[in-house]
């Protein structure tokens, strides 16, 4: 029997979030709840399993806000701070599980070991420090509980990072380029989540028009845009300009696949 998936957008903003500290930009001053964006992350649930993709600086509040009482693991896309720096806040889940499974490229795991040495130092473990179970991910599909997850190699500027495909759902953030070989892995999707930073071009992120070109080529049933800057504009105005099957994601949005 094929699993049904539910994704909860824990955060849909950029590395600074929205509103940006000290900013008087109109979007940062918006009273529309959909214009308030924590750092980018999603919760992916199917059957009795719950996984988080990325663990940024808002992780603790995101877990509380979404009422998450248990996770089965964390998948990392890459090692930038807005995607990893909340790792210490997994402690309550570590107390539940003993070790929280984490999945990432070896380069990302090495970076985590440098930045969170106390978590990975098994010989001199301080009581109360979280524990993790490391799982190295490369380009090869891997089993996660009762499904196969397919890593998608994408370019974030010069940095090669990972997106993930779960059956008919794919999650890609911090995208600048997707090679044709990886585009083939994204055909036949029901739901595609992909980043779209702003209207203007950026050296390491897709602009809105670039994201829409990829969506048109892949032709998923539905697409949701994330990793959004205040420079993209007001949620309500941007949504009106999008194709019928493309949606601007917002924090706490729940999508079923």
* pLDDT at residue 123 tops 90: no
Residue 16 pLDDT greater than 70, yes or no? yes
Per the CB < 8 A criterion, the answer to whether 142 and 75 are in contact is no
Residue 207, pLDDT above cutoff 70: yes
User: Rounded to whole angstroms, how far apart are CA atoms 253 and 222?
Assistant: 14
210 sits in which H/E element: helix 208-218
| Average pLDDT of span 4-25 | 97
- For residue 152, the model assigns a pLDDT of 98
Rounded CA gap, 61 and 52, in Å? 14
Q: Give the pLDDT score at 1.
A: 62
The average pLDDT across 35-44 equals: 98
The pLDDT value recorded for residue 92 is: 95
Q: Which among 185, 74, 58, 176 is positioned nearest to 133, based on CA atoms?
A: 74
Helix, coil or strand: residue 21: coil
pLDDT at res. 190 = 98
Among the listed residues 172, 179, 167, 176, the one whose alpha carbon sits nearest the alpha carbon of residue 45: 167
Question: What's the pLDDT at 126?
Answer: 81
Global pTM value: 0.96
Q: Which fold has domain 5-256?
A: Metallo-beta-lactamase; Chain A (3.60.15)
Mean pLDDT of all residues in the chain?
A: 96
pLDDT, tens digit, 9 for 90 and up, residues 221-249: 999 999 999 999 999 999 999 999 999 99
- Determine contact, residues 242/248, Cβ cutoff 8 Å: yes
- According to the model, what pLDDT value does residue 198 have? 97
Task: Identify the pLDDT of residue 125.
Answer: 81
Return the beta strands (E) in the chain as ranges: 5-11, 41-46, 49-53, 73-75, 100-104, 132-136, 142-144, 147-156, 159-166, 169-172, 191-195, 222-226, 246-248, 254-256
Q: For residue 142, is pLDDT > 70? A: yes
Cα 89 to chain centroid distance, Å, stands at 17
d(CA 25, CA 135): 41
Look at residues 103, 98, 82 and name the one whose alpha carbon lies nearest to residue 130: 98
pLDDT at 2: 76
Nearest CA to 77 among 46, 102, 113?
A: 102
When pLDDT is cut at 50, 70 and 90, the band that residue 97 belongs to is: confident
- The torsion angles phi and psi of 118, rounded to 5 degrees, stand at -65, -25
The span from the CA of 199 to the CA of 229, in Å, is 9
What is the predicted pLDDT for the residue at 3?
Answer: 83
- Using one digit for the tens of pLDDT, what is the confidence trace for 157-179? 999 999 999 999 999 999 999 99
């Amino acid at each position: 029997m094929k699993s049904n998936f539910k994704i909860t957008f824990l955060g849909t903003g950029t590395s600074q979030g929205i509103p940006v500290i000290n900013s008087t930009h109109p979007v940062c001053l918006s009273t529309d709840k959909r214009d308030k964006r924590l750092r980018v992350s999603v919760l992916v649930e199917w059957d009795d399993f719950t996984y988080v993709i990325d663990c940024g600086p808002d992780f603790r509040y995101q877990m509380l806000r979404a009422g998450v009482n248990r996770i089965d693991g964390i998948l990392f896309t890459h090692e930038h701070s807005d995607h990893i720096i909340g790792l210490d806040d997994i402690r309550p889940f570590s107390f539940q599980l003993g070790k929280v499974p984490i999945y990432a490229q070896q380069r990302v795991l090495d970076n985590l070991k440098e930045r969170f040495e106390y978590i990975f130092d098994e010989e001199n473990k301080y009581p109360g420090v979280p524990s993790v179970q490391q799982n190295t991910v490369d380009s090869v599909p891997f089993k996660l509980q009762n499904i196969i997850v397919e890593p998608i190699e994408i370019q974030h500027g010069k940095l090669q990072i990972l997106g993930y495909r779960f059956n008919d759902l794919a999650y890609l953030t911090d995208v600048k380029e997707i090679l044709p070989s990886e585009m083939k892995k994204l055909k036949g999707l029901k739901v595609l989540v992909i980043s779209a930073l702003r209207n203007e071009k950026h050296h390491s992120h897709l602009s809105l028009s670039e994201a829409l070109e990829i969506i048109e080529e892949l032709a998923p049933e539905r697409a949701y845009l994330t990793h959004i800057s205040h420079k993209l504009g007001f949620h309500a105005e941007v949504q009106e300009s999008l194709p019928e099957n493309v949606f601007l994601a917002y924090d706490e949005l729940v999508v079923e696949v």
